Amino acid sequence: MKNNVIKNITNKTLGILGGGQLGKMIAIEASRLGIKTCIFDPNKNSPAFQNANIIINSDYTNKKALRQFVKCSDKITYEFENIPLESLNFLEKNSQIFPGIKALKYSQDRLLEKEFISNLGISVAPFYQIKNYVDVKGALEKLKGTAILKTRKFGYDGKGQHTIKRYRIPNIKNNIEKNKYIIEGIIKFKKEISVIVVIKKDGSAICYEPSENKHINGILRETAFPAKISIKTKNKAKAIAVKLARSLNIIGIIAIEMFVDKSNEIIVNEVAPRPHNSGHWTMDACNVSQFEALVRVIFDMPIPNIKYYHNCKMINILGENYNVLEKSLYKKNHKVYIYGKDKIKEDRKLGHINILF
């Protein structure tokens, strides 16, 4: 049995769509397990290229490049969700994509995502489709004047979002005509948490314990592990996460971001069918990180029970607090990760620190 596992990974290459920090951390774990990587990204300065065996620097729609990618890769995964579905369909016909593309269809579009989740009987924030400016007014009436307007697609780290208070609609009439939006009621949450679920090829699920997130202006700043919520709430969150992962046909990994309200009800905010920023604590606080778990599922390697060694506070380092990284290098319980991005910019994620307790 053991020999077969090792034979499975001999001379194997994992294709990764997207060359950001998540791709880089997947590549590092793959390499540690003897697996090469072929990384596809349109940006020639992608951080993950520093750790790739093969680089494909092309637009995601370039068929010739996609063909080359399939040829180089034994299996494919993605670290970036906004890959055109047409390209994914092409790749799926010619290779195996993990954790599958059903989940991407939903995670790429907030309206489809919210409809899918609520159809499963799982709570989400009240939401309305916005097709034009008049729809905003109608939805605001229902939401008593306070809401968040979000682009359906391509929004990340709070981009494309507008908080509306006291019926004051931002001056974005032209954007609304051009883009597709949804509007959401604001959840008065007690905590934000995430749950990371790994589904193996035999259908069995491994669920990491929930962690607790702090966002500012829509950007994740800190994650604390473990989340300070009751065991009952943890179990509820984990059951919802596994149900969602299974309904989205995940084989690999998915992160589910949730709100916990004052009555300890769970409201799902978002799903991300890939390793997630709020799971970086798994790199140092337990025996198998989210990146390693994904690689192990893809290449049929066993995953031992998750064993937690430390409590952890993960701090994201954005362009404006880059100097914190240097201070952390002197601290004995700080694990420092520097992504190697080409430019330091405000609000851009440049690294993170896992502080272990």
- CA 308 to CA 302: how far, in whole Å? 18
**Nearest residue (CB) to ligand AMP, 143 versus 197:** 143
User: Smallest distance from the beta carbon of 148 to ligand AMP, in angstroms?
Assistant: 5
For residue 340, state whether it binds ligand AMP (rule: CB under 6 A): no
Among 41, 79, 212, 270, binds ligand AMP (CB under 6 A): 270
Torsion angles phi and psi, residue 338, rounded to 5: -115, 125
- Number of residues counted as binding ligand AMP (CB under 6 A): 13
**Nearest residue (CB) to ligand AMP, 169 versus 186:** 186
Among 74, 113, 184, 222, binds ligand AMP (CB under 6 A): 184
Contacts of 230 (CB under 8 A, 6+ apart): 264
Q: Is the peptide bond before 226 cis (omega within 30 degrees of 0)?
A: yes
8 Å CB contact between 8 and 300: yes
Segment interacting with ligand AMP (CB under 6 A) among 43-51, 56-64, 185-193, 279-287: 185-193
Segment interacting with ligand AMP (CB under 6 A) among 66-74, 135-143, 183-191, 193-201: 183-191
Q: Which two tokens stand for residue 12?
A: 């194997």
Among 14, 125, 182, 248, binds ligand AMP (CB under 6 A): 125
Among 72, 104, 148, 251, binds ligand AMP (CB under 6 A): 148
What is the sign, positive or negative, of the torsion defined by CA atoms of 200, 206, 208, 213?
positive
For residue 192, state whether it binds ligand AMP (rule: CB under 6 A): yes
Angle, in degrees to the nearest 10, between helices 85-94 and 63-72: 40
8 Å CB contact between 27 and 73: no
For residue 158, state whether it binds ligand AMP (rule: CB under 6 A): yes
DSSP label of 315? E
The residues that touch ligand AMP, with contacts defined as CB under 6 A, are 125, 148, 155, 158, 184, 186-187, 192, 215, 218, 257, 269-270
